[in-house]
Chains A and B, each alone.
Chain A
Amino acid sequence: MGVKRLSRSNARGWALVGMGVLFAIAGIWQGELRDVFLKAALICLECMGLR
């Protein structure tokens, strides 16, 4: 019984983790790593306050 209660209390957290992993995989599948790289590998003037 205790074990059931424990798994239930964490179910929503694990569901969110699972959803996050699925989203991340979907993003990677669509080639978003390249888009992230293109943004992150160039100096971002906005981030520095130069615009």
Chain B
Amino acid sequence: MRQALPGRARPLERQRRVVQWLVAVGANLNLPGFFTGQIYQGASKSVCVPFLNCYSCPGALGACPVGTVQSFAVNRAVPWYALGTVLAAGGLAGRAICGWLCPFGLLQELAHRGRRVMRPIPVLLTRLKYVIMVGMLPAAAWIVGAGGFGTTYFCAYICPAGTLEAGIPLLLANASLRALAGWVFSWKIAILIVLAAASVAYYRPFCRTLCPLGAFYGLFNRVAVLRLRFAEPLCTHCNACTAVCPAGLDVPATPNSPDCILCMRCTQACPTGALRFGLHETAVATTRAASAEEVR
């Protein structure tokens, strides 16, 4: 069992929560859509957002990159624009996109709110997201149905964001869509219920086990321009960082782990400032590294 978040960690946590809310609301500002059962059709729908946000959510103003790359794969085309968007976002900030911008991540955090026990998720389950990431595009392109075309399999059979943000509000507001609901919808509702229940006990279970975009961004955590900077000489091995990590990571051993969503709790908990998020190494780290190089 891990300890509670220290009091001084809370200001940054609040800032992150404010950013998450601003992005979640800002990306889904077409509020009339929730009442009319129609989705937004303005020009901004051609813009890919860098986080998971279903484009069929009545409020969505932009396009989801996961749905976009799959729909291009169905047509066996390379989605240069959507890939470029997520590549640039990943190169810039890695999984900070998940931790700070993703609306579905915010919802999972709200479900988990107040829980202090950090439960680890079995490693095998955390690897599932890589299988989905790697398999998603070939599946869309090559596993074809009766019409000779594939489909956006992740969206169709797994994505709980689509069910929650698009399926439920549109079915509630649109009777003609309700008539189309069958076993696939029931299956997706079941996934959503399981993940909602899991979110109460586990921190961000979807992000850690199933999200292909999170898996992709995780690959960039170690090289992103903005990343965790660990000044080992300052570390006293007090493990305060590990104790507050909601993902249950051993922070000093694996700073910038692919499973780190850069919530920054560790940077706030560190009593010596050995951990921080940013563009540059801490001064002591660079000075000592430079001295060591000079001695050599």
Per-residue contact bits, chain A 26-44, to B (CB 8 Å; 1 contact, 0 not) = 1110101111110111111
- B281 CB–A CB distance under 8 Å: yes
Give the interface size bracket for A toward B.
Answer: 35 or more
A26 to chain B, nearest CB (A): 5
How many Å lie between the Cα of A33 and that of B55 in the bound state? 14
Contact of A48 among B87, B91, B177 (CB under 8 A): B177
Chain B residues with CB under 8 A of A28: 81
B279/A27 in contact, CB under 8 A: no
- A49 to B184, Cβ gap below 8 A? yes
Task: Report the stretch among B6-14, B19-27, B148-156, B239-247 that lies at the interface.
Answer: B148-156
What DSSP secondary structure best describes chain B's contact surface?
Answer: helix
Q: Contact flags (1/0) for B78-97 with A, using CB distance below 8 Å?
A: 01111111111111100000
CB <8 Å contact, B46 and A37: yes
List chain A positions with a Cβ less than 8 A from chain B: 1-2, 5-6, 9-10, 12-28, 30, 32-37, 39-51
Known: A20-B87, A47-B152. 20 other contacts (CB 8 A): A2-B286, A6-B286, A13-B226, A16-B90, A18-B91, A20-B84, A23-B83, A23-B88, A33-B46, A37-B46, A39-B68, A40-B46, A40-B68, A43-B177, A46-B155, A47-B155, A49-B185, A50-B167, A50-B185, A51-B151
